[in-house]
Structure 1
Amino acid sequence: MSYFLWVEDFENEARVTAANVFGGVLDEGLFDDKRQALKYNFKSQGVFIELNFQDGLDFICSKLDTVDYVILDIDLPAYGDDGINQDVLNLLVNFEGYQPQGVESEDEALQKNACSELKKIAGFYLYTKLVVELGFPKEHILFCSNHGENTQTIQQAFKTARMALPKIYQKSDDVVQQWVKQRYDDPYSRLRRGIIEGCKLAKSLPKENVYFNNFIPKQDSIQHEDIISYFQILENFLPLREPENKLALYKLFIRTLSHEWGATDPKKIKELAWIMKNVRNWVSHNSLLFSCIDEKLLAYLFIINLRLMFDFDSKVQSYETILLALFSHALTEQLFKDKAKNDLLKPDIAKTYLDLKNKVLDEKGKDGVKINDGFYFNELANNIQQSNSHLKDDKQLFSELIYQMFWLTTSNPYVGTSNQKKTLEIKFYGFNYLEKPYIEALARHIYHCSFSPRPNP
């Protein structure tokens, strides 16, 4: 999911208003006529509601980096139950003609009148704060208001400020739900938000949770503050506005993500760590290999990497839920569940191993091709990259191999006595996908990417 700030006062029928705007992405059980209950329910889904101008302004000034999109009402009360603060008072003085006279009764009346004028165009002030002062992308902002009577007021405010008036929709307009759903499901925004939330989690973990040094020579152990700095870089890597050439940025992200694995000791690498070790080697030596990657592959590698860097709760974390939703496919998830229930995953794993083994043997038999055979799946894949075979530049093949390594490095292969091509016997034991909840969730979501048939050339 992407995260939203929604500044809305819910003057009438809060449940209906919420359903009009977020009914296309959130469960109806979250909607409530009580504003505070609605605010609480939506927060768990990454939608942060502020009920007045002052609280909306405070969120924008202090927590804007926690959201990806903003939805603004036009007509908003100046402040809430906490009373007016100095920022809003200054705005009333500078822009709404409020001049305190030093007489309490008169000042209250003047302030009330100024707040009434502010209410009519409160959304305008928030919009200009976002776009003009903070550089927030205007395409990430939606204006929706049922106060049609204020259209002329808001139009005049934008005209006076020499700013183009953004499109303003009624909350009941179909385009509002469409806009929200498109942004809520946007792959780039979802990837970026999942990475940010994952990095925040990593930075909050104590040094006792650092697991990465298990893969590092003792004399080269990485300090906790260096790992925190590494995640700080990753957290700020993807800009809020999706870049035109995002594939180049994704390739650079993978290079940065896998960089630390260059210092690891191959003798200490095991299981899922081979994924990151190989990715580090490949991205460093083959500039073509990661030139066509997508949000799914980055999300998968980020989840694997963070789990290898730190030892923490094996339950699926909120950042993982955000990233795994990039893979959501009801039919393939059900297929995985059916196969897991009936112990039918092992044939998929065995076939994947044999397919790669035979690719290597086929290439090894060709004139002029120098490629080593191997036993382990990750070893076979790496041998292709170190060879002069044309397969080393097959982007689709290696995207699949990166996913397939998840299954093959968490399985225990047993090979029969025959070593001839296509007569190899192989059995797998010990793929305990239920051992850790995040492993099961990852397996279920990447199943289609791991074993989907390739089209004929």
Structure 2
Amino acid sequence: MSYFLWIEDFESSPKITATEVFGGLNIDDLQFADHKQELKRNLKAHGIYIELSFQDGLGFIRQNLGNIDYIILDIDLAAYSKGDVINADVLALLETFQDYKKPEDETENEQLLNRELANLKTLAGFYLYTELVVELGFPKQHILFCSNHGENTRETQKAFKSAKIASPKIYEKSAPEVQKWVKNCYENPYSRLRRGIIEGCQFAKNLPIDRLYFNEYTKGNESVQPEDIYNYLEVLENFLPLLESANKKALYKLFIRTLSHEWEAAKNIRRDENKKDTVLAWIMRNTRHWITHNSNLFGQLDEKIVAYLFIVNLRTMFNSDDDTLQGYEMILLNLFADKALSESEFKEKSIPVSDAYLALKNIVLDEKKNDTNIQDAFYFNELANNLQLSKSSRRNDTELFMKLLYQMFWLTTSNPYVDTKNRKLLEIKFGNFNYTEKPYLFELARHIYNRSFP
């Protein structure tokens, strides 16, 4: 999902208004309550933050804008909510843009203030828009104006013209373009990826430092210090800009280079009996090798593979002691929703690890005949790595190696062994790994299955 800020004072039915705007999303109708505070609570669980007045909206924008991907503005807003008092920020705005000066007489001030607040109400959306775009640099492409107060549109347009700013189009809330815009933004793959990465980094930064598992992979080498990991997460959190780049694939390649950088020092990856899925660290170790020696291999990344590597990275770098699916993982795995297996479908699926292993083994053996200096190996991750580091033309096969990164999830967790009765290649077998044992592994497995075994 992408996160929305909706600044709306609901002068008509909250339920009807919310349904007009967000009814195109996969949200249960019961969530669209007709009580403002209940609606606010319900939609927050779906990444939709509602502020009910100009004052509250301005405060959110100035304090929490980093938590938001898209904004929907009403043009006509109450200055502040019932029960609140006007704050210094709104008073400062009245003084700056409406030449308000407090008279000494309190009665006169009350009358003047009421007039100024009435004027502010008709221009509230304009003030918020210019705060966002002009003062804070928020991309105007991520803002939607919609209102059911057509009589105030003219005042807003006059304000934009006077400020020499192109007026954005203002839609009625019931217009079909509104739901279409919201749905496109909510499901935008780039925004979902970016939001999942931000939430994941914030989650990891709040873990106790004793949950840092990464140094288990670097024993014998220099340990990574807590402040280095914090800085690393800060870089990742702020890596992808809010506005989608026209050359996002180049950006994804740089992101993966940064994400995998720390794994250069990881040379002690082994099976931990208390945390058997730590062998997934080979995925990150190989990614680091490959992007260092053949960056062209990562020139066509999509949001799914970036999300997959990010999830594996955090799960293997940190021992969270929580095997439930985290919020950031839910956001990222939604990128795979179009081809994800249902829970029942996955439980009925056989996992073709032997076929995947033999397919890679045969590629290596065939290439070895061509004298490409490729080395044979027993473990799947080593076979893949040897192929990539060889002189084989197959090392530039992007489709093959992205598939291998997915297949490594299954092949590193499935224990290979040689049947002692017959040591032929076809007698390499695999021990079963219980993917239902840990909820996050189960969810990851069912979402990437079709990417692993197309």
TM-score by length of 1: 0.94
Separation of aligned partners in 2, 1:376 and 1:345: 21
Structure 1 unaligned residues grouped into runs of 5+: 453-457
Give the structure 1 partner of residue 241 of structure 2. Answer: 239
2:333 maps to 1:324 = yes
2:365 maps to 1:356 = no
Give the structure 2 partner of residue 415 of structure 1. Answer: 418
Aligned counterpart for 1:146 among listed residues 148, 160, 164: 148
Separation of aligned partners in 2, 1:426 and 1:349: 11
Separation of aligned partners in 1, 2:63 and 2:346: 48
Separation of aligned partners in 1, 2:347 and 2:415: 17
SS in structure 1 of the partner of residue 100 of structure 2 = coil
SS in structure 1 of the partner of residue 417 of structure 2 = strand
SS in structure 2 of the partner of residue 83 of structure 1 = coil
* Cα deviations by residue, 1:214-243 (Å, 9 ceiling, x for unpaired): 101255111111111100000010011111
Give the structure 2 partner of residue 8 of structure 1. Answer: 8
Contact between 1:337 and 1:444, CA under 8 Å: does it hold in 2?
A: no
1:266 deviates by: 4.0
Provide closer, same or farther for how the CA distance between residues 140 and 259 of structure 1 changes in structure 2, counting only shifts above 3 A: same
SS in structure 2 of the partner of residue 45 of structure 1 = coil
Contact between 1:415 and 1:426, CA under 8 Å: does it hold in 2?
A: yes
Give the structure 2 partner of residue 193 of structure 1. Answer: 195
Return 277-286 or 428-437, whichever deviates more. Answer: 428-437
Give the structure 2 partner of residue 271 of structure 1. Answer: 279
Separation of aligned partners in 2, 1:35 and 1:240: 29
Number of corresponding residues: 444
Aligned counterpart for 1:287 among listed residues 295, 301, 308: 295
1:77 deviates by: 0.4
Separation of aligned partners in 2, 1:28 and 1:375: 54
Separation of aligned partners in 1, 2:176 and 2:445: 37
Separation of aligned partners in 2, 1:10 and 1:318: 30
Provide closer, same or farther for how the CA distance between residues 362 and 220 of structure 1 changes in structure 2, counting only shifts above 3 A: same
Amino acid at match of 2:124: A
Separation of aligned partners in 1, 2:215 and 2:346: 36
Give the structure 1 partner of residue 72 of structure 2. Answer: 71
1:72 deviates by: 0.2
Amino acid at match of 1:326: L
Separation of aligned partners in 1, 2:119 and 2:245: 39
Give the structure 1 partner of residue 350 of structure 2. Answer: 345
1:28 deviates by: 1.6
1:267 deviates by: 5.4
Return 348-357 or 215-224, whichever deviates more. Answer: 215-224
Separation of aligned partners in 2, 1:405 and 1:29: 42
* Cα deviations by residue, 1:410-447 (Å, 9 ceiling, x for unpaired): 11123335565xx6134322311011110001001101
Give the structure 2 partner of residue 455 of structure 1. Answer: none
Give the structure 2 partner of residue 99 of structure 1. Answer: 101
Contact between 2:264 and 2:288, CA under 8 Å: does it hold in 1?
A: yes
Aligned residues with identical type, % of pairs: 57
Give the structure 2 partner of residue 44 of structure 1. Answer: 45
Separation of aligned partners in 1, 2:380 and 2:133: 51
1:100 deviates by: 1.6
SS in structure 2 of the partner of residue 15 of structure 1 = helix
Amino acid at match of 1:104: E
* Cα deviations by residue, 1:252-282 (Å, 9 ceiling, x for unpaired): 1101000000011245476101000000011
* Cα deviations by residue, 1:378-428 (Å, 9 ceiling, x for unpaired): 0110110121111111000000000000001111123335565xx613432
Aligned counterpart for 1:132 among listed residues 131, 134, 154: 134
Provide closer, same or farther for how the CA distance between residues 241 and 224 of structure 1 changes in structure 2, counting only shifts above 3 A: same
Give the structure 2 partner of residue 35 of structure 1. Answer: 36
SS in structure 2 of the partner of residue 311 of structure 1 = coil
Amino acid at match of 2:153: T
SS in structure 2 of the partner of residue 121 of structure 1 = helix
Spell out structure 1 runs of 4+ moving beyond 6 A: none
SS in structure 2 of the partner of residue 220 of structure 1 = coil
Return 265-274 or 290-299, whichever deviates more. Answer: 265-274
Provide closer, same or farther for how the CA distance between residues 219 and 450 of structure 1 changes in structure 2, counting only shifts above 3 A: closer
- Alignment RMSD: 1.5
Separation of aligned partners in 2, 1:337 and 1:402: 25
TM-score by length of 2: 0.95
Separation of aligned partners in 1, 2:165 and 2:295: 45
Contact between 2:75 and 2:153, CA under 8 Å: does it hold in 1?
A: no
1:27 deviates by: 2.5
Amino acid at match of 1:49: I
